[in-house]
């Protein structure tokens, strides 16, 4: 697709102070260190191009959902990891607004970089308070949004500031929109979508949006159980949403009525419980033979074989969501095999957020995918055809 928004490539940043919204909402381990730096590394191209161009940078991000100032959600570990990746110290300012922040921004020389403290320590951020947006912008000359993962949120640092300062898209934001927009606008055919995750209710809009575009739709994870219920099958004690059966039936009719292929599990791994304690009693069953006292926790080997046949034929594949209880290693086999099949497929492969991204990262297969998205909710809302406020606020070229 043609990217219409103006980007950092359209501005000379020399001598300018640039406020860059990044998405450093990354997991921390028990020791308080960064557990997965994927999102930090994804922002490096924009940071480097601005520094090389002679800009002074203030980075702004959130971490978690703090209720006021919370030392456990400080960006200190992120500043440390970013410094390691850049090979230079990245000072963490004590706040994202206020006199100290303004003084530090004024003191920034070309090529300088600082990280502002967690912007969500201020409730005005999520309220998209205009006065707070103006305060965030103070001392800066331009604004760059490189936080695709939060582009679906109309917050002060993602949308409000873009109305205060001249706004541009970062390289990551551009890359995400081109990759996801490309598979929607002009995918190479056959186009396969693999949609998993726990609940069909959270993905129904995505399914409806994809049905007219795809040639085949594979549904896995807990949401597949609702589709099995819609076919009159018993799913035992599995996670399912009986109140969504009618909607699942409508999607099924829409796919099959238009001559497209719908892949639901034909066999499953079922266990006494969906946690690690259930692993010892897990076994493979046909979908019409799941015992009433067991819960479906993964897809079975025959289902994987069906997936493999369709994946090998596909020219474009979009994958969002695990096809089993991925967080339990014993029930992660199906999800891992999907990752491997995509890596070997030769198709244009776009992995859209969440645990499917975790699966390809853990398997060491991320570099074998065409694009691995940094945004879960944002990727889904884009696929659904919704306007992302953080993108809409950036002027076109």
Question: How much is the average pLDDT of 175-194?
Answer: 91
Last residue of a domain, one of 108, 138, 173: 173
Q: Are residues 167 and 194 in the same domain?
A: no
pLDDT of residue 182: 85
Question: How much is the average pLDDT of 100-125?
Answer: 96
Q: Cα dist. 211→241, 252, 259, 385 in Å?
A: 21, 10, 11, 13
β-pair partners for 328: none
- Note if 260 is an active site residue: no
Q: Are residues 285 and 348 in the same domain?
A: yes
Q: What is the DSSP letter of 29?
A: -
Question: How much is the average pLDDT of 149-172?
Answer: 97
Q: Cα dist. 130→11, 73, 103, 196, 389 in Å?
A: 25, 24, 22, 38, 15
pLDDT of residue 363: 86
Check 16, 17, 21, 39 and give the catalytic one.
39
Check 182, 236, 354, 375 and give the catalytic one.
354
Q: Does 354 score more than 80 pLDDT?
A: no
| 395 within some domain | no
Closest alpha carbon to 287 in 273, 276, 302: 302
Last residue of a domain, one of 143, 173, 203: 173
Q: Are residues 15 and 115 in the same domain?
A: yes
Question: How much is the average pLDDT of 223-229?
Answer: 97
Strands 216-219 and 261-263: parallel
Check 80, 134, 199, 249 and give the catalytic one.
199
Q: Are residues 148 and 224 in the same domain?
A: no
| 351 within some domain | yes
Tokens representing residue 249 in the block:
């039936």
Q: Are residues 262 and 195 in the same domain?
A: yes
User: Quick one: pLDDT band at residue 1, thresholds 50, 70, 90?
Assistant: low
- Note if 39 is an active site residue: yes
| 392 within some domain | no
Question: How much is the average pLDDT of 35-52?
Answer: 95
Q: Are residues 156 and 200 in the same domain?
A: no
Last residue of a domain, one of 109, 138, 173: 173
Q: Does 2 score more than 70 pLDDT?
A: no
Q: Does 21 score more than 60 pLDDT?
A: yes
Please tell me the distance from the alpha carbon of residue 360 to that of residue 155, in angstroms, as a whole number: 30
| 391 within some domain | no
| 239 within some domain | yes
User: Could you tell me the CATH number of the domain that includes residue 332?
Assistant: 3.40.50.1260
Domain count, the chain: 2
| 128 within some domain | yes
Q: Are residues 30 and 160 in the same domain?
A: yes
Please tell me the distance from the alpha carbon of residue 143 to that of residue 376, in angstroms, as a whole number: 23
- Note if 199 is an active site residue: yes
Domain that holds residue 78: 8-173
Q: Are residues 127 and 226 in the same domain?
A: no
Q: Are residues 146 and 194 in the same domain?
A: no
Q: Are residues 35 and 140 in the same domain?
A: yes
- Note if 336 is an active site residue: no
* pTM above threshold 0.85: yes
Question: How much is the average pLDDT of 216-231?
Answer: 96
Are the C-beta atoms of residues 325 and 298 closer than 8 Å to each other? Answer: yes
């Amino acid at each position: 697709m043609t990217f219409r928004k103006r980007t950092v490539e359209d501005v000379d940043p020399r001598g300018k102070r640039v406020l860059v919204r990044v998405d450093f909402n990354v997991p921390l381990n028990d020791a308080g260190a960064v557990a997965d730096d994927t999102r930090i590394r994804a922002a490096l191209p924009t940071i480097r191009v601005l520094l090389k161009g002679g800009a002074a940078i203030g980075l702004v991000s959130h971490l978690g959902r703090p209720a006021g100032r919370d030392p456990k959600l400080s960006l200190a570990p992120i500043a440390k990891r970013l410094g390691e990746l850049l090979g230079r110290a990245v000072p963490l300012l004590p706040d994202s607004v206020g006199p100290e922040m303004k003084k530090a921004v004024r003191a920034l020389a070309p090529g300088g970089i600082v990280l502002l403290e967690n912007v969500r320590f201020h409730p005005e951020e999520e309220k998209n308070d205009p006065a707070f947006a103006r305060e965030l912008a103070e001392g800066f000359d331009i604004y760059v949004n490189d936080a695709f993962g939060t582009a679906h949120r109309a917050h002060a640092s993602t949308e409000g500031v873009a109305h205060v300062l001249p706004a541009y898209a970062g390289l990551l934001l551009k890359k995400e929109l081109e990759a996801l927009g490309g598979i929607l606008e002009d995918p190479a055919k056959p186009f396969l979508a693999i949609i998993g995750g726990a609940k069909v209710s959270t993905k129904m809009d995505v399914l409806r949006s994809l049905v007219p575009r795809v040639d085949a739709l594979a549904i896995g994870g807990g949401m597949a159980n609702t589709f099995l219920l819609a076919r009159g099958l018993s799913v035992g004690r599995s996670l399912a949403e009986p109140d969504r059966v009618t909607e699942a039936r409508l999607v099924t009719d829409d796919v099959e009525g238009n001559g497209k292929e719908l892949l639901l599990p034909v066999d499953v791994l079922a266990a006494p419980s969906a946690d690690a304690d259930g692993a010892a009693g897990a076994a493979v069953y046909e979908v019409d033979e799941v015992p009433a006292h067991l819960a479906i926790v993964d897809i079975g080997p025959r289902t994987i074989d069906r997936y493999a046949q369709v994946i090998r034929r596909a020219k474009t594949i979009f994958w969002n969501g695990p096809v089993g209880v991925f967080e339990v290693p014993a029930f992660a086999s199906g999800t891992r095999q999907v990752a491997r099949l995509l890596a070997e497929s030769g198709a244009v492969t776009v992995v859209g957020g969440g645990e499917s991204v975790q699966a390809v990262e853990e398997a060491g297969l991320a570099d074998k995918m065409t694009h691995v998205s940094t945004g879960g909710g944002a990727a889904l809302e884009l696929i659904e055809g919704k306007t992302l406020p953080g993108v809409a606020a950036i002027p076109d070229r």
